[in-house]
């Protein structure tokens, strides 16, 4: 019988050992790949969640800035109409789903005034705020074409908004869904805005206005004389 060459036996053993190493290394690599895939999936989920939270916080910040910068500085502003009676009205319209008002702002130069005329409403699932340096009269249907304004989208995926207007009568605070500018000759004591999102959640913001008690005792509602 022909004897086996010892060198050949060592080569065979070395080849078998290398194949076992390859199988083990492949298993380790697959395990590492699984760990990386799981970690990556968890990372991207956390990143997407953080982005959603960040976007929602930015929306809240936008609305907070509107409430603090405009609603809190809301003031009465009279405008005399050009009709036969020459009536004077507040440049204010408080509807259940829209508000139009005058607010104070900081004046940075001699060419810009310190008044802003603001309108807030929802359109196409967007919360819109419009700002104008010029008087925009809410009772004119074509006022949008007469006065220039800037438009800002504060939030998206909005189902609806609703407003509540605070006044006082006989030393009692009352809340109204609509503020009739022809009935009251000054602005509400405070305004609450509720934003309802498409996912069914809602948030509320409440701010007291700047000059709400200027013409009254405890903000008592004053009716315009007939």
pTM of the model: 0.69
Give the per-residue pLDDT at 81: 67
Residue 210 has pLDDT above 60, yes or no: yes
Residue 94 has pLDDT above 70, yes or no: yes
Residues 6+ apart with CB under 8 A from 212: 186, 187, 188, 189, 190, 219
Residue 205 has pLDDT above 90, yes or no: yes
Give the per-residue pLDDT at 225: 45
Residue 224 has pLDDT above 70, yes or no: no
pLDDT tens-place string over residues 174-190: 899 999 877 777 789 89
pLDDT tens-place string over residues 4-63: 455 555 555 555 557 777 777 788 888 888 888 887 787 778 777 777 778 888 899 999
- Residue ranges of E strands in the chain: 78-80, 88-90, 93-94, 99-104, 115-123, 126-132, 150-156, 158-169, 172-176, 190-197, 202-208
Give the per-residue pLDDT at 44: 76
Give the per-residue pLDDT at 127: 96
Residue 215 has pLDDT above 50, yes or no: no
Quick one: which of 127, 119, 128 has its CA closest to 195?
127
Residues 6+ apart with CB under 8 A from 214: 76, 186
Give the per-residue pLDDT at 221: 47
Residue 130 has pLDDT above 80, yes or no: yes
Average pLDDT of the residues of the chain = 78
Average pLDDT over residues 200-211: 90
Give the per-residue pLDDT at 96: 95
């Amino acid at each position: 019988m022909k004897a086996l060459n010892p060198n050949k036996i060592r080569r065979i053993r070395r080849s078998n050992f290398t194949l076992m190493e390859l199988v083990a290394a492949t298993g380790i690599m697959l395990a590492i790949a699984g760990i990386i895939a799981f970690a990556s999936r968890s990372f991207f989920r956390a990143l997407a969640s953080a982005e959603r939270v960040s976007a929602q916080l930015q929306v809240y910040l936008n609305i907070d800035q509107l409430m603090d910068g405009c609603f809190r500085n809301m003031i009465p502003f009279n405008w005399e109409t050009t009709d036969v009676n020459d009536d004077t009205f507040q440049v204010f319209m408080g509807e259940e789903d829209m508000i139009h008002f005058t607010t104070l702002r900081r004046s940075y130069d001699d060419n810009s005034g310190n008044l802003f005329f603001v309108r807030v409403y929802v359109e196409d699932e967007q919360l819109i705020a419009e700002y104008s340096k010029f008087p925009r009269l809410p009772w004119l249907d074509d006022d949008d074409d007469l006065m220039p304004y800037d438009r800002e989208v504060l939030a998206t995926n909005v189902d609806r908004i609703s407003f509540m207007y605070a006044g006082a009568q006989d030393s009692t605070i009352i809340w109204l869904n609509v503020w009739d500018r022809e009935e009251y000759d000054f602005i509400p004591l405070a305004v609450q805005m509720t934003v309802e999102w498409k996912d069914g959640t809602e948030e509320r913001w409440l701010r007291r206005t700047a000059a709400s008690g200027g013409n009254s005792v405890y903000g008592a509602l004053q009716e315009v004389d007939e």
